């Protein structure tokens, strides 16, 4: 036998062994999958559903059935439930839902009947929890993923993008465009665990122009004139939670407002925040920072100024089925120039229309107490009203 034939036979035999092994593993996996019995849910009227238990949170059970999709049922609609995968139960009495509170939870197959949840952990006596005390029932794999891992940089973001435009052609030509993008990511990405960190970024901008064409009247020529408006804002913030409600934060913000002669305002600071209100439909945060602030102006005097100050802010979110309301308030004093304080208020109401699309209206009120001296005089207050089409950004992890 030649050396070439010998190596060819060896390669053939190794390939045959590999194909056989892979086929065997595939068949074993399929057999294991086929042997795994589906979860069973018996409704209060006696009907039986077969599928997969997704989770339970706040008294609402999510159960997936292939013919019906995801079903959300309250406990009073359920007579019994059996799930064969490994599940953990978080009790409502546990105020803290951090890693220490969840790492030693018993996990196993569960049975729900007669107002109690039984967890069949391997090698131990089944643990029993009253249904009314079972705040969350979640797969052990999902609990481990949320507690011990973090999503990649481009994963887990939620928010909304909004765009609007107005065009008028008449004696004067006018157009205005506006847009905004708001993103936030909270880790863990589920509401039934305490937050570890939160990252947010927001951008909003509007630009408009009114043009009066040149004309001649009574032999007098009047040249064309134009008036523009331009307002833009960007901010980013990182929160690190020290407890379930208290957090440390770092932030940066940039503003431009042509109507206030503000070329660029830069803010860099850090501080603390506290979640004063947190329910499934509402959340309110209070924040206080120390910061460096630099203001540069377009044509006024002085051309720029450097400030040391603070931001005292409050944010509120109300989420309803018909609309979502958000409000942000901020007061920004300067300690080295008591006249150079400012304040902002932003209000937005978004109405869902179809799937991820919606409609929103909002206002942005900005007050700058110490604008530079200009001709004509610069007004201290700037008010903006916007409305447009909104697309909700939803990311799963």
| Per-residue pLDDT reduced to its tens digit, 263-303 | 999 999 999 999 999 988 999 999 999 999 999 998 877 78
Count of Cβ atoms closer than 10 Å to residue 57 Cβ: 18
DSSP secondary structure letter of residue 75 = G
For residue 134, tell me if it sits in a domain: yes
Domain end, chosen from 98, 113, 148, is at 148
Round the average pLDDT of the chain to a whole number and report it. Answer: 87
For residue 22, tell me if it sits in a domain: no
Which residue range is the domain that position 339 belongs to?
158-393
For residue 19, tell me if it sits in a domain: no
Looking at the fold, whether 101 and 190 belong to one and the same domain comes out as no
Count of Cβ atoms closer than 10 Å to residue 231 Cβ: 22
Unique residue bearing structure tokens 């391997």:
122
Domain count for the chain, please give it: 2
Q: Residue 344 phi/psi, 5° resolution? A: -140, 150
**Confidence band for 2, pLDDT divided at 50, 70 and 90:** very low
Task: Let me know: does 244 contact 367? Beta carbons within 8 Å.
Answer: no
For residue 237, tell me if it sits in a domain: yes
Contacts for 183 with CB less than 8 Å, ≥ 6 apart:
157, 158, 159, 200, 201, 202, 393
For residue 32, tell me if it sits in a domain: no
Rounded Cα distance between 183 and 154, Å, is: 11
Looking at the fold, whether 167 and 135 belong to one and the same domain comes out as no
Of these ranges, 165-179, 217-231, 290-304, 331-345, the one predicted with the greatest mean pLDDT is: 331-345
Rounded Cα distance between 383 and 372, Å, is: 19
Amino acid 32: pLDDT:
41
pLDDT at 41 over 70: yes
**Confidence band for 227, pLDDT divided at 50, 70 and 90:** confident
- Whole-model pTM? 0.81
Looking at the fold, whether 194 and 325 belong to one and the same domain comes out as yes
Looking at the fold, whether 201 and 233 belong to one and the same domain comes out as yes
Looking at the fold, whether 119 and 256 belong to one and the same domain comes out as no
Domain end, chosen from 84, 117, 148, is at 148
For residue 9, tell me if it sits in a domain: no
pLDDT at 323 over 50: yes
| Per-residue pLDDT reduced to its tens digit, 243-260 | 989 999 999 999 999 888
Looking at the fold, whether 365 and 239 belong to one and the same domain comes out as yes
Of 54, 285, 331, 254, the residue nearest 186 (C-alpha): 285
Looking at the fold, whether 136 and 163 belong to one and the same domain comes out as no
Amino acid 117: pLDDT:
94
Name the residue with higher pLDDT: 154 or 30.
Answer: 154
Domain end, chosen from 148, 167, 202, is at 148
Amino acid 36: pLDDT:
62
Task: Let me know: does 289 contact 311? Beta carbons within 8 Å.
Answer: yes
pLDDT at 159 over 90: yes
For residue 58, tell me if it sits in a domain: yes
Amino acid 21: pLDDT:
46
Looking at the fold, whether 237 and 97 belong to one and the same domain comes out as no
Looking at the fold, whether 123 and 253 belong to one and the same domain comes out as no
Looking at the fold, whether 225 and 303 belong to one and the same domain comes out as yes
**Confidence band for 219, pLDDT divided at 50, 70 and 90:** confident
Amino acid 171: pLDDT:
77
CATH number, domain containing residue 315: 2.40.160.40
| Per-residue pLDDT reduced to its tens digit, 79-100 | 999 999 999 999 887 767 777 7
Element (H, E) at 198: strand 197-212
pLDDT at 25 over 70: no
Q: What sign does the CA torsion over 153, 155, 156, 161 have? A: positive
Looking at the fold, whether 274 and 241 belong to one and the same domain comes out as yes
Amino acid 31: pLDDT:
43
Amino acid 152: pLDDT:
87
For residue 24, tell me if it sits in a domain: no
Looking at the fold, whether 238 and 345 belong to one and the same domain comes out as yes
């Amino acid at each position: 036998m030649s050396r070439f034939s010998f190596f060819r036979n060896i390669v053939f035999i190794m390939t045959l062994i590999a194909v056989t092994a892979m086929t065997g593993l595939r068949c074993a996996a399929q057999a294991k999958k086929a042997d795994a019995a589906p979860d069973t849910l018996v409704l209060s009227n006696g009907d039986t559903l077969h599928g997969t238990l997704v989770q339970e949170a706040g008294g609402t059970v999510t159960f997936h059935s292939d013919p019906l999709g995801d079903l959300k049922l309250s406990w009073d609609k359920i007579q019994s439930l059996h799930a064969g995968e490994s599940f953990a139960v978080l009790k409502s009495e546990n105020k803290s839902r951090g890693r220490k509170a969840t790492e030693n939870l018993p996990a196993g197959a569960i049975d729900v009947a007669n107002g109690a949840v039984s967890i069949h952990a391997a090698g131990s006596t089944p643990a029993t929890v009253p249904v009314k005390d079972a705040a969350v029932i979640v797969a052990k794999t999902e609990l481990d993923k949320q507690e011990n891992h973090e999503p990649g940089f481009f994963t887990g973001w939620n928010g909304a993008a909004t765009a609007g435009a107005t065009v008028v052609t008449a004696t004067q030509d006018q157009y205005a465009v506006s847009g905004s993008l708001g993103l936030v990511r909270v880790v863990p990405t589920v509401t039934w665990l305490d937050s570890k960190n939160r990252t947010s970024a927001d951008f909003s901008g509007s630009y408009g122009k009114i043009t009066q064409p040149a004309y001649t009247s009574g032999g007098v020529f009047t040249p064309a004139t134009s008036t523009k408006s331009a307002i833009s804002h960007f901010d980013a913030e990182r929160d690190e939670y020290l407890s379930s409600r208290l957090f440390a934060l770092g932030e940066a913000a940039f503003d431009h407002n042509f109507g206030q002669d503000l070329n660029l305002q830069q803010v860099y600071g850090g501080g603390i925040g506290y979640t004063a209100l947190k329910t499934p439909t509402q959340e309110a945060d209070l924040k206080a920072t120390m910061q460096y602030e630099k203001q540069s102006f377009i044509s006024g005097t002085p051309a720029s100024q450097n400030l040391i100050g603070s931001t005292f802010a409050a944010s509120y979110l109300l989420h309803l089925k018909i609309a979502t309301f958000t409000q942000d308030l901020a007061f920004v004093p300067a300690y080295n120039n008591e006249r150079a304080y400012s304040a902002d208020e932003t209000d937005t109401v978004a109405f869902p229309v179809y799937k991820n699309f919606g409609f929103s209206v909002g206002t942005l009120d900005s007050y700058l107490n110490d604008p530079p001296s200009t001709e004509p005089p610069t007004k201290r207050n700037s008010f903006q009203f916007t409305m447009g089409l909104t697309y909700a950004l939803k990311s799963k992890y």
